[in-house]
Amino acid sequence: MPPQTEILMELHDLTIHELHDRLKRKEVSSVEATRALLARIEAVDPKVNAYITVTPEEALAAAQDADRRIAAGDIAPLTGIPIGLKDIFVTKGIRTTCASRILGNFVPPYDGTAVARLKEAGAVIVGKLNQDEFAMGSSGESSAFGPTRNPWNLECIPGGSSSGSAAAIAARTATATLGTDTGGSIRQPASHCGCVGLRPTYGRVSRYGVIAYASSLDQVGPLTRDVTDCALMLQAVAGHDPLDSTSVDLPVPDYTKALTGDVKGLRLGLPKEYYIAGLDPDVKMALDEAIETYRGLGVEFIDISLPHTDYAVATYYLVATAEASSNLARYEGVRFGHRAEGAASLIDMFRKTRAEGFGAEVKRRIMLGTYALSSGYYDAYYLKAQKVRTLIMQDFLKAFETVDAILTPVAPTPAFRIGEKTRDPLQMYLSDIFTIPVNLAGTCAVSVPAGMSGNGLPIGLQLIGRPFGEETILRAAHAFEQATAWHQRKAQI
């Protein structure tokens, strides 16, 4: 029998399905796996800062429950699996900050739907993960709890806004995580951290209990070590929720059944607007290689056009900020969260609370959104943006008449250095240029590891599917994963 420590060192590297097999065979208990993860967090997280709150007591109690279930022969794919949640998910009795000072002391009285579904499946919640404040950012640097670092290179950003959710996968401090994607917030950090990240179709997963940034764009999705795990996580959280009017009442397919490995005859579109000059050479190379790999698997490539791509970023920063300016109005210190001391009047209390509680990026977006909705500007900005959004949606629907999915880069460059773009918001905004159109169109997309840059940073590729076409993109991503070894690489930390 190998020494205890070696077993523990091993457990945190496992995928969901690998750990599940061991739990099922009773080779390991959920308590052991959870302890291993908690030990790993203690050892590694001070360097990465992926967690805002770690919940060892609750996690071990849940692990014991899971072990009892397993002993009774009641084991679901996520039973006993240690999972981390972006701190945007409301968790009953566990502090939920959304990485903002304004919610620094907020302990919610309820669980959101996705969290409740994970718990029902027997998952073990190990803690709440760092992110950009209110999910506003592409680098993880806008968190009130300090930036998260990229486990592949601690000087680099992990991407954002689900920065902790991606970094925890790369650092092996969670077996799987849940994030949210409003403009690329799952796919871009997944790409930068070398993990799989899925943004499901709008309406596929309930938003109830997800702190709203931009309600018409937000969607919950998993970040995992491989595509099979991604399918298992989606399976657990997908489906109609009567508490979310925008969740769609469509049957949930068996996503793991879609992972056949067979992509022969699949038609992948290459949009000319995404293959732009200025694309990082390493990203370009990874993509070219991926195309070759797919060709070898019998995939057919078709050149397509998504003509309104150029307007996506501007459209996004009108729609998202407008909704955010309204969604964030409830943080005024009356009922929960931070309240400023020493205010002279009610209005003064609102002003001080919000001035102290929100960070610079959040304030910037509230102001942008307030402006876009203001009387006299509404038609020129918000309404116009909604019209462009419809055009972008139509671009995709038209493309899907001739292709099954679309292959693109996730981000124009690999992860940049911490602090590199914080002074130039516009440059930061442009780093989401390939992910934002998917949110505006309301459709689904997955990021899978597809290469490494010259300086050792992961590069992902994006597969965009038609609305509720998660099975197709997961199948394509899984086939690619089977043909390559990028997902097996581990950050040395």
Partner 1 sequence: MRFQPVIGLEVHVQLKTDTKIFCGCSTKFGAAPNSQTCPVCLGMPGALPVLNKKVVEFAIRAGLATNCRIAPRSVFARKNYFYPDLPKGYQISQFELPICQNGHLDIEVTDLNSISSGCQGGKEEATRAYSDVRRGADDEVNAGRRLKANSVKRIGITRIHMEEDAGKLVHSDIPGLGSGSGVDLNRACTPLLEIVSEPDIRSADEAVAYLRKLHQIVVYLGICDGNMEEGSFRCDANVSVMPVGSTTFGTRTETKNVNSFRFVKQAIEYEIERQIELIGEGGKVVQETRLFDPGTGETRSMRGKEEAHDYRYFPDPDLVPLVISNDWVADVALSLPELPEARRSRYRSELGLSDYDAEVLTATREMAEYFEACIALGAPAKGAANWVMGEVTRTLNEAGKGIAECPVTPERLTALLQLIEKGTISGKIAKTVFDEMWSSDKAPEAIVEEKGLVQVSDTGEIERIIDEIMAANMGQVEEFRGGKEKVFGFFVGQVMRASKGKANPAVVNELLMKKLKGA
Distance of CA 70 to the CA centre of its chain: 29
- Residue from 29, 139, 142, 161 carrying the catalytic annotation: 161
Binding region for partner 1 (CB under 8 A) out of 146-154, 214-222, 223-231, 409-417: 214-222
Size of the site for partner 1 (CB under 8 A): 44
Give me the 57-96 binding string for partner 1, x by CB under 8 A, dash otherwise.
--------------------------------xx-----x
CA distances from 463 to 374, 403, 438, 481 (A): 37, 12, 10, 13
Q: Is 325 a catalytic residue?
A: no
- Residue of the chain from 226, 323, 471, 481 that contacts partner 1 (CB under 8 A): 323
- Please say which residue, 171 or 212, places its beta carbon nearer to partner 1: 212
- Residue 53 is a binding residue for partner 1 (CB under 8 A): no
- Residue 119 is a binding residue for partner 1 (CB under 8 A): no
Q: Name, in order, each residue with C-beta under 8 angstroms of 456's C-beta and a sequence gap of 6 or more.
A: 152, 153
- Residue of the chain from 64, 293, 326, 482 that contacts partner 1 (CB under 8 A): 326
- Residue 215 is a binding residue for partner 1 (CB under 8 A): yes
Minimum separation from the CB atom of position 323 to partner 1 (A): 6
- Residue of the chain from 71, 107, 329, 360 that contacts partner 1 (CB under 8 A): 329
Torsion angles phi and psi, residue 446, rounded to 5: -130, 145
Minimum separation from the CB atom of position 458 to partner 1 (A): 31
Q: Rounded CA gap, 116 and 121, in Å?
A: 9
Q: Name, in order, each residue with C-beta under 8 angstroms of 421's C-beta and a sequence gap of 6 or more.
A: 139, 427, 428, 431
Q: Is 185 a catalytic residue?
A: yes
Minimum separation from the CB atom of position 236 to partner 1 (A): 19
- Residue 243 is a binding residue for partner 1 (CB under 8 A): yes
- Please say which residue, 51 or 350, places its beta carbon nearer to partner 1: 350
- AA identity, residue 64: Q
Q: Is 86 a catalytic residue?
A: yes
- Residue of the chain from 163, 315, 325, 431 that contacts partner 1 (CB under 8 A): 325
- Please say which residue, 323 or 481, places its beta carbon nearer to partner 1: 323
The count of C-alpha atoms lying within 13 angstroms of the C-alpha of 491, restricted to the half-sphere facing its C-beta, is 29
Nearest to 63 by CA among 38, 33, 43: 33
Minimum separation from the CB atom of position 186 to partner 1 (A): 18
- Please say which residue, 334 or 391, places its beta carbon nearer to partner 1: 334
**Contact (Cβ atoms closer than 8 angstroms) between residue 474 and residue 213:** no
- Residue 106 is a binding residue for partner 1 (CB under 8 A): yes
- AA identity, residue 43: A
Give me the 350-379 binding string for partner 1, x by CB under 8 A, dash otherwise.
x-------------------x--xxx--x-
Binding region for partner 1 (CB under 8 A) out of 22-30, 39-47, 56-64, 324-332: 324-332
- Please say which residue, 108 or 239, places its beta carbon nearer to partner 1: 108
Minimum separation from the CB atom of position 189 to partner 1 (A): 21
- Residue from 86, 128, 352, 421 carrying the catalytic annotation: 86
- Residue 330 is a binding residue for partner 1 (CB under 8 A): yes
Longest dimension (CA), the chain: 74
- Residue 118 is a binding residue for partner 1 (CB under 8 A): no
Minimum separation from the CB atom of position 308 to partner 1 (A): 21
- Residue 390 is a binding residue for partner 1 (CB under 8 A): no
- Residue from 165, 185, 431, 453 carrying the catalytic annotation: 185
Provide the annotated active-site residues: 86, 161, 185
Binding footprint of partner 1 on the chain (CB under 8 A):
89-90, 96, 98, 103, 106, 108-110, 112, 207-212, 214-216, 242-246, 322-323, 325-326, 328-330, 332, 334-336, 346-347, 350, 370, 373-375, 378, 382
